[in-house]
Structure 1
Amino acid sequence: MTEQDRNNLVELQRIDLKILAVQQQIRDFDPLLGEVEEPALVLESDAQKTRTRLKEINLEERQLELGVAEKRERQKRLDERLGSVRNLREEAAVSAELEMVKQALQNDEQEALSILDQIRRMEGRLEELDEAITEARGIVGPRLEELISGRDTAERELGALEQDRENFVHKMDPLEIRLYEGIRRGGRVTAVAALTEDGACSHCFGIVPPQLQNEVRHGKSLIRCEECGVILTLTEYEDELTGVMAAEESVEEEAAVSQEVSGETVDEDQVDE
């Protein structure tokens, strides 16, 4: 492995660490945005529910109006018919039907008044919610714009880094890239680690056999740690590789938290069963 190959592997890992850092930065914006938007979102949810219910009630009120109009017309016809009955039996029948229509009409009119009152109160509530939403958006607007701008900047930075990585990889040996990517597969951060001055792998701190140490320092092949599998490079690159362990620990902690939450969910489901 030439000196340039070593440099390339170290530089590629540095780029990947930057990508991981920016990806985490972008993820960190989501809870911040949710926290800032939550008050306005709650109000908007209430307003949407109120609008939906108001629409339903208005439809009910219109249908009731049609029913009232139909009953009034029916009452009018029965009143006219009552004036032209020919016997007591027919008069009794018409009167009974007329009384039923009047009672039904009275009930519908009372219900219509009740619905109109609900509509007025609901329209007042909706107006209050809209005012509260406007006020909430005015308060959180600057902070929200700041967070969105920060996230957009981070996403542009991520795009530039990913493009830099793609351009950089094209200059590297495909076999080295395949080995490097294979080591990092599954979310692993460290693929390249320095050989310390005392002959240990700086990733797992396992002692590297003297023959392999010599090959790392003077050979031209890719040498991997027998303990953890990372590609070993010269001690002089140790400074460039600083931060890899911290980044890997951060990723492992996130994975552990995610697994713990998943486990708790499974346990709750089992309890429910």
Structure 2
Amino acid sequence: MAKKQAEKEVQVEDKLKTLYSLQTKLSDVDKIKILRGELPLEVADLEDEIIGLKTRIGKYESDQKEFETAVAQQKQKIQDCTLKIEKYKEQLDNVRNNREYDHLSKEIEFETLEIELAEKRIKEFTQNVKSLKEQVEKSKSFLEERSADLHQKKDELDEIISETKQQEEQLREEIKGIEGEVEPRLLQAFKRIRKSARNGLAIVAIERGACGGCFNKIPPQKQMDIKLGKKIIVCEYCGRIMIDPELVGIEE
């Protein structure tokens, strides 16, 4: 019975040591991510912004072409109306009665109004084309600026990644190996605690009689239980797993 008890105690201590080793490696990866800072997010945001700018420029250029086509159509309409007016005026010289004269006069008046309306539309459409050209120029200028920013941010990120890539890959290999030593349920619980912890610490050593994660005082009896290492104990305040510092070679 005593032998089985000793084996169980060693087993729990080994679990705690393994988790603490895993936490140490994960924290080293976290430090690398901190070194990269907000650069990955900034790069992603800039890429999204550039896609949006290109879409906007494409829409502006499409609208511009539509208005240019509309201007050409109105100009053609003016030509057609002018030809009709000339034809009607020629016919006026050969009218046989007032009824024909009135009819031709009304046609000339109608075509004249059509020309005036077309000229007004040409003016509006031309203004729209001008405005869209300005928008395209501004957007392209801004696109160049944001593209330059993206290039700079990417260079910075690539430089940091190249400096830390080998270290991170090695850490991740070690993490993978350590995770294989932890039973699935315990590993799942560890990851859940780590995810909810603000600083990513799922297991912490006791510091001066307090939890090393939230710094709340631990009752003496619980401190003794943690020191004995007979079972896995979590902080009642923050939910982190607690470990005796001597077990992992930490001096208080």
How would you bin the TM-score normalised by the shorter chain? 0.5 to 0.7
- Pairwise CA distance, 1:169: 0.9
What per-residue deviation string (whole Å, max 9, x for no partner) do you get for residues 89-145 of structure 1? 21232123213313432442464366447646754x368547745863686465233
Partner SS, residue 58 of structure 1: helix
Verify: 1:143 aligned to 2:152, yes or no. Answer: yes
What per-residue deviation string (whole Å, max 9, x for no partner) do you get for residues 154-207 of structure 1? 9968984556534421122334324423543534533322234x6544343423
The 8 Å contact of residues 58 and 119 in structure 1, kept in 2 or not, is answered as: yes
Q: Which of these residues, 202, 205, 215, is aligned with residue 191 of structure 1?
A: 202
Aligned length: 238
Which residue does the alignment assign to 2:109? Answer: 99
Verify: 1:57 aligned to 2:67, yes or no. Answer: yes
Which residue does the alignment assign to 2:218? Answer: 207
Q: 1:140 to 1:59 in 2, by over 3 A?
A: same
Q: 1:76 to 1:163 in 2, by over 3 A?
A: farther
Partner SS, residue 184 of structure 1: helix
Which residue does the alignment assign to 2:16? Answer: 6
- Which residue identity is paired with 2:70? E
> Which deviates more from structure 2 when the two are superposed, residues 230-239 or residues 110-119?
110-119
Q: 1:76 to 1:222 in 2, by over 3 A?
A: same
Q: 1:186 to 1:43 in 2, by over 3 A?
A: closer
- Pairwise CA distance, 1:24: 5.0
> Quick one: higher RCO (CA 8 Å, sep 6+), 1 or 2?
2
- Which residue identity is paired with 2:152? R
Query: % of aligned pairs identical?
Result: 20
Which residue does the alignment assign to 1:263? Answer: none
Verify: 1:169 aligned to 2:179, yes or no. Answer: yes
- Which residue identity is paired with 1:193? V
TM-score by length of 1: 0.61
Q: 1:228 to 1:80 in 2, by over 3 A?
A: closer
Give RMSD over aligned pairs. 4.6
Partner SS, residue 204 of structure 2: strand
The 8 Å contact of residues 194 and 201 in structure 2, kept in 1 or not, is answered as: yes
The 8 Å contact of residues 225 and 231 in structure 1, kept in 2 or not, is answered as: yes
- Which residue identity is paired with 1:181? K
- Which residue identity is paired with 1:108? A
Q: 1:158 to 1:52 in 2, by over 3 A?
A: farther
- Pairwise CA distance, 1:9: 1.0
What are structure 1's unaligned runs of at least 5 residues?
243-273
Q: 1:73 to 1:27 in 2, by over 3 A?
A: farther
- Pairwise CA distance, 1:10: 0.8
Q: Distance in 2 between matches of 1:76 and 1:231?
A: 96
Which residue does the alignment assign to 1:72? Answer: 82
The 8 Å contact of residues 43 and 150 in structure 2, kept in 1 or not, is answered as: no
Q: 1:109 to 1:221 in 2, by over 3 A?
A: closer
- Pairwise CA distance, 1:36: 8.1
TM-score by length of 2: 0.65
Q: 1:6 to 1:96 in 2, by over 3 A?
A: closer
> Which deviates more from structure 2 when the two are superposed, residues 136-145 or residues 14-23?
136-145
Q: Distance in 1 between matches of 2:220 and 2:245?
A: 15
